[in-house]
Amino acid sequence: MLQLDVTIDTKSGFCFGVEYAIEMAEDILKEEGKLYCLGDIVHNDMEVKRLQKMGLKIIELENLKEMKGVKVLIRAHGEPPSTYELAMKNDITLIDASCPVVLKLQNRIKKSHDKKEKIYIYGKHGHPEVKGLIGQTGKDAIVFQNIKELDFDKLPNSLTLYTQTTKSKEKFYEVVSTLNKAGIEVNSHDTLCRQVSNRDTQLQEFSLNYDKIVFVSGTKSSNGNVLYNVCKSHNDKSHFISSSTEIKEDWFTKNDSVGVCGATSTPMWLMEEVKEKLLQY
């Protein structure tokens, strides 16, 4: 027996936006036994499977176009105005679980667009939240996930910069600094979710307190990738897993202290399952 000393980070787990969306879905599923959701309700396959067993049906935008008179959940990531227009046209009842932080950001971007500002969004291409943000601009905004994607010779002298709520705070301010050094006037809006960015600092401290770190997250989670890299940069013995089946016993030595933590899309029940597996070694 390795006799590992395992501690779960109590500050890890669902952010309030994801928790709110899942509670709404669970309430409807318990009452009606069926609910459609536009895209994965959360970027964690294990949690999605749990809700699918309760009756959640994941659909995509193409499916929505063919549906009429049904009830559909909008997840925490939010949606562009075109989705709401389609729902009205097809007599679809939307259960809107968009995160308040995302809704506020959408509103700010729309106001900037109405003022004819040149909008740039630091975010992940194709991410559902980013799609909702671009939708506020009639798809006029420029999205980039790496500063190297931008052709500085073609950039305007001044621009308005927003960020996807779950990006790295450090990387966002690096982007602002690089643009400023290039002589570009940046009207920057730090629209990062503080519940996510504060975990950055908290996980730096957490990862230093243990011999090994097991970070639990879905592979689709942008926030998961950011926070795992925070752990890895402060404790090089950090391991990324999506489920307890991916744990390897040879990562650990006898009496290791192990910290288990996760993304804002990682359910606490999954981290507890990981802890139970580690205690079996």
Sign of CA dihedral 123, 125, 126, 131: positive
CATH tag, 5-13+195-279: 3.40.1010.20
- pLDDT below 70 — which residues of the chain? none
Domain definitions of the chain by residue range = 5-13+195-279, 16-98, 101-192
Reported residue count of the chain is 281
The CA distances from residue 103 to 17, 20, 151, 227, in Å, are 11, 14, 30, 23
Q: Tell me the C-alpha distance between 110 and 113, whole Å.
A: 5
Q: Tell me the C-alpha distance between 257 and 210, whole Å.
A: 5
Domain 16-98 and domain 101-192 have a common topology:
no
Active-site residues, by number, are 129
Q: H helices of the chain, where?
A: 16-32, 45-54, 61-66, 81-89, 100-114, 128-135, 169-181, 194-208, 222-234, 268-279
Amino acid at 161: L
Amino acid at 137: T
Greatest alpha-carbon span in the chain: 65
Tell me what pLDDT residue 51 has.
Answer: 97
Please say whether the structural domain 101-192 has been given the CATH code 3.30.450.20. Answer: no
Among 25, 242, 40, residue whose Cα is nearest residue 128: 40
Among 9, 16, 8, 41, residue whose Cα is nearest residue 194: 16
Q: Residue written as tokens 């690089």?
A: 178
| Chain segment 155-210, per-residue pLDDT in tens | 999 999 999 999 988 899 999 999 999 999 999 999 999 888 888 889 999 999 99
CA–chain centroid gap for 186, Å, is 25
What three-state secondary structure class fits 271?
helix
Tell me what pLDDT residue 195 has.
Answer: 83
Decide: residue 85, CB within 10 A, 0-12 exposed, 13-18 middle, 19+ buried: exposed
Q: Tell me the C-alpha distance between 35 and 92, whole Å.
A: 12
Q: Residue written as tokens 């669902």?
A: 14
Please say whether the structural domain 16-98 has been given the CATH code 3.40.50.11270. Answer: yes
Contact criterion met (CB below 8 Å) for 14 and 267: yes
Q: 175 φ, ψ to 5°?
A: -60, -50
Amino acid at 18: V
